[in-house]
Structure 1
Amino acid sequence: MNRPSAKWAQAVAEAELRRPLPSRYAHSKGVARRATEVAGIVVDDAELFISAAVLHDVGYAPRLAETGFHPLDGARFLRDTHAADARLVQLVANHTFALLEAEERGLRDVLEAEFPLPEEQLLVDALVYCDMTTSPDGEQITAEARVTEIIGRYQADSVVGRFIRRAAPEIFAAVGRVEAVLAGQPR
């Protein structure tokens, strides 16, 4: 597959998430909506960006969960089953500071070796922005509220609990960078 299509990505996300994980699917659709709203900041990569937004959590699908680490499982599925665009797969694998969670899980070397961090910082930040300003039910919220919500769902000493506390400053910085770019855009 050459350039990813948002329509294709939506169909894949729906097929994998809608029935087994309706809340996760609602979140993914909400993240894609946010990506559509802000795609002007990555105009040359808008289709790639929106595709990554809707597919970022596809690795949660029960049939895809091999390692239990959704960024890695989702990226492998997209690469191996769909021969998806390499940049799309990298974005899914590395969304929202996945390297930090991979480290907590003892999978950082695996993630880095298979799916290097994308070089386009604005694209990476924009995906963090969309993910972290979308609630689990797909509604727009602040990044602070989203981090608080995640912390509330997980024990402090759990993998995700440790990860989100570590990643929070990076998340807020990425969201801030995107908000600065958006503020500088002509309306």
Structure 2
Amino acid sequence: MEFTLWARDLARSLLAEPLPRRWAHSQGVAAKAQSLAGLLGADAELLWAAAMLHDIGYAPSLATTRFHPLDGARYLRDHSAADERLARLVANHSYALLEAEERGMRDVLEVEFPILDHAELVDALVYCDMTTTPDGTPTTVDVRLSEILTRYDRDSVVGRFIRRADEDLRTAVYRVEARLFLAER
């Protein structure tokens, strides 16, 4: 419980005032993570914390590289008592490795924060992020991906990344939805 309170308080301190919409999104992603607790067992709190903290790298005080997964993970590693797995989840959330490649930062991300070898946990964080709107409300992966593309120019780094990651993001969401369906039966 203390772990989740710490994650919530940290995210709030970094996002609530300067980026209230990002804070709302983070709360919605964490709420979605809570709904997956039964699927993840012992990793449920880790997922919740990663969901709450996944976008802290957008905080103006942390945005040194302007690549939010890396900035957030570095902050967690260097300025908090965060578990290494938490920092690695934040660094690699929602196929960030593909965006890192678009930015010429793939080697940096891979060396500093290798992807966790826990596909169900990685997929769960993708699911939570890709089924939550910027305002924190639930949505579908189709609507979310379309919404992202409306905010970014097609040829921007994020526009290129989202188009490259589209199939991987959808597949991760579908895997989690299938697990949820089977768990309900």
Shared fold (TM-score, shorter chain, > 0.5): yes
Selected match of 1:130 from 128, 131, 141? 128
Deviations 1:58-103 (A, max 9, x none): 0000000010000000000001000310000000000000000000
2:69 matched to 1:96? no
Q: Note the 1:2-41 alignment, pairs <5 A.
A: 5-41=3-39
Secondary structure at 1:40's aligned position in 2?
helix
CA distance in 2, matches of 1:59, 1:6: 18
Alpha-carbon shift at residue 186 of structure 1 (Å): 3.7
Q: TM-score, normalised by structure 2?
A: 0.98
Count of residues paired in the alignment: 185
Q: Residues 4 and 51 of structure 1 are in contact (CA less than 8 Å); yes or no, is this contact kept in structure 2?
A: no
Q: Residues 4 and 47 of structure 1 are in contact (CA less than 8 Å); yes or no, is this contact kept in structure 2?
A: no
Secondary structure at 1:136's aligned position in 2?
coil
Selected match of 2:161 from 153, 160, 163? 163
Alpha-carbon shift at residue 4 of structure 1 (Å): 7.6
1:78 maps to 76
Secondary structure at 1:62's aligned position in 2?
coil
CA distance in 2, matches of 1:6, 1:145: 29
Selected match of 1:49 from 33, 36, 47? 47
CA distance in 1, matches of 2:38, 2:117: 19
1:67 maps to 65
Alignment identity in percent? 60
Q: Aligned AA for 2:94?
A: T
Q: Aligned AA for 1:58?
A: I
The runs of 5 or more residues in structure 2 that have no matched partner are none
Secondary structure at 2:132's aligned position in 1?
coil
**What is the root-mean-square deviation in Å for CA atoms of aligned residues?**
1.1
CA distance in 1, matches of 2:47, 2:114: 17
CA distance in 2, matches of 1:51, 1:101: 22
Q: Residues 52 and 91 of structure 1 are in contact (CA less than 8 Å); yes or no, is this contact kept in structure 2?
A: yes
Runs (4+) off by over 6 Å: none
Q: Residues 4 and 84 of structure 1 are in contact (CA less than 8 Å); yes or no, is this contact kept in structure 2?
A: no
CA distance in 2, matches of 1:153, 1:28: 18
Selected match of 1:107 from 99, 105, 108? 105
